[in-house]
Amino acid sequence: MSTEQILSSDGIPLEVSLKKAERRNKIRAVLLVAPLFLFILIIYVFPIGEMLFRSIDDRKISGMLPKTFTAMEKWDAKDLPKEPVYAALYEDLSYLKENKTYGQIIARLNYEKSGFSSLIKKTVRKLNKFEQGNYKEQFIEVHKRWGQMEFMGALKNTAPAWSYAKYLKGVDLKFNQEREIVQVPEDRRIHKILWMRTINVAFWVTIFCFVLAYPIAHLLATLPMKYSNLLMICVLLPFWTSLLVRTSSWMVLLQQQGPINDLIVLLGFAANDNRPELMYNVIGTFVAMTQILLPFMVLPLYSVMKTISPSLMRAGKSLGGTPLISFYKIYFPLTVPGIGAGCLLVFILSIGYYITPALVGGASGSLISNTIAYHMKSSLDWAFASALGAMLLVGVLTIYWIYNKLVGIDNIKLG
């Protein structure tokens, strides 16, 4: 009988009248959410999507050398290409020279293989002296690199409109001429080091923050209001100070003639002429990041600890548990949601941290985010920067996924 339709008193099916009654509320809810949704869509989802899109978008060059790449499709890249490829290249370059846009392909080709810059420039200059037919010989005559497999192979490698070469570069891999994935030469393998260092720093900063924040949060949650408010202000004070100011003040403290070094010398841990370097290396990054990210660990822990009734610990003790056992068996398990939230937050924030490592990190303390900034601002290789950004994002999502598997995301509490 469960399939029988229930009617409301005026004969309309109950479901229909319920929907009708709820419609106004639903519309109101949608209208309330809409501005925020559009805001996020326009200023967050769209630009980030656009940025990530760049990391695989390689259409520009294939649009500028269309005939060459079409001709290259039949080429197996085992030996030098035949005449039609060079003929097509001549046509494409002539067109680019007419429109004076060949400069744009130089940059792209030079990323692929250095040496293309002078090669293209020289060729374009001499393009009007080319005669009809036998383009291959004429190209090689202008510059011998046109007759080298490395360059022709590199040229072919730029052909696909979509490429994940930037991602390979992000982990120190690349395509060789045969389009096989190989490691870059040993002296250029810097990104793996950066990734490992970033993860290492994020991991230890998370651990340090946890060790420092747990007792603070516990104090905050258990002290009488009078003192806990004061302590809370101390915890929040850094939030009200500019990040830049805080980092700069660490630079003042940590420099070789700074107060901390003075103290170390005073206490006899180091000789005056052999002061330890506390800044422009990974130590500076650790110290400053731990201090700056500490509130993000304290607050979730505090909000969870605040909900734990003090009578639970008392119950544990009255039942015969030593303070240590009571803490370990009762208090600690109940704070796990806060620990999870705090660690996740601090780890994710520190894995993409930028200003602090940039200012106090120096060369040995700079992280992947600094490399991203470098490619955004200095080398202008936005595609590579966004590839690194996307890798960072995937990394964060992976951590989130692992956390969800281990602890369960429902167990998280941010306050």
Partner 1 sequence: MSKNSEFVKFDNVDKSYDGKILVVKGLKLDIAEGEFVTMLGPSGSGKTTCLMMLAGFETPTHGEIYLDGNAISNIPPHKRGIGMVFQNYALFPHMTVYENLAFPLRVRKIPKDEADKKIDKALSMVALQGFEARMPMQLSGGQQQRVAVARSLVFDPQVVLMDEPLGALDKNLRESMQYEIKHIHESIGVTVVYVTHDQTEALTMSNRIAVFNDGKVQQLSSPDELYERPVNSFVAGFIGENNIFDGIVSDISGDTCKVKLNNGTEILANPISVKAKGEKTTVSLRPERALINPKDKMDNNHKGKIEEVIYHGDHTRVRINLLGNDQFILKIPNSTSNLDIKLGNDINVGWNSKDSRALDPK
Q: For the CB of residue 298, give the shortest distance to partner 1 in the complex, in Å.
A: 23
Least distance to partner 1 from the beta carbon of 222, Å?
13
Minimum CB–partner distance for residue 221 and partner 1 (Å): 16
Judged by the rule CB under 8 A, the positions of this chain that interact with partner 1 are 309, 311-312, 314-323, 325-326, 329-330, 333-334
Cβ within 8 Å of residue 223, ≥6 positions away: 231
Inter-residue contact 159 to 179 (CB < 8 Å): no
Nearer to partner 1, 263 or 315 (CB): 315
**Paired sense of beta strands 173-175 and 181-183, if any:** antiparallel
> In this structure, are residues 149 and 161 in contact, taking their beta carbons and an 8 Å threshold?
no
* Least distance in angstroms from the C-beta of 173 to partner 1: 46
How wide is the angle at C-alpha 34 spanned by C-alphas 28 and 38, nearest 5°?
175
Closest to partner 1 by CB, 252 or 319: 319
Please say which residue, 123 or 326, places its beta carbon nearer to partner 1.
326
- Which among 395, 345, 343 has a CA at the least distance from the CA of 369? 395
Closer residue to partner 1 (CB): 144 or 329: 329
Name the phi and psi angles at 242, rounded to 5. -60, 140
Residue closer to partner 1, measured from CB, 190 or 315: 315
CB of 321 to partner 1, least distance (A): 5
CA 111 – CA 150 distance, rounded (Å) = 14
The DSSP secondary structure of 121-167, one letter per residue, reads: HHHHHTGGG--SS-HHHHHHHH-GGGG-HHHHHHHHHT-SSB--HHH
Using the minimum distance from each CB to partner 1, give the nearer residue, 290 or 303.
303
Question: Shortest distance, CB of residue 271 to partner 1, whole angstroms?
Answer: 49
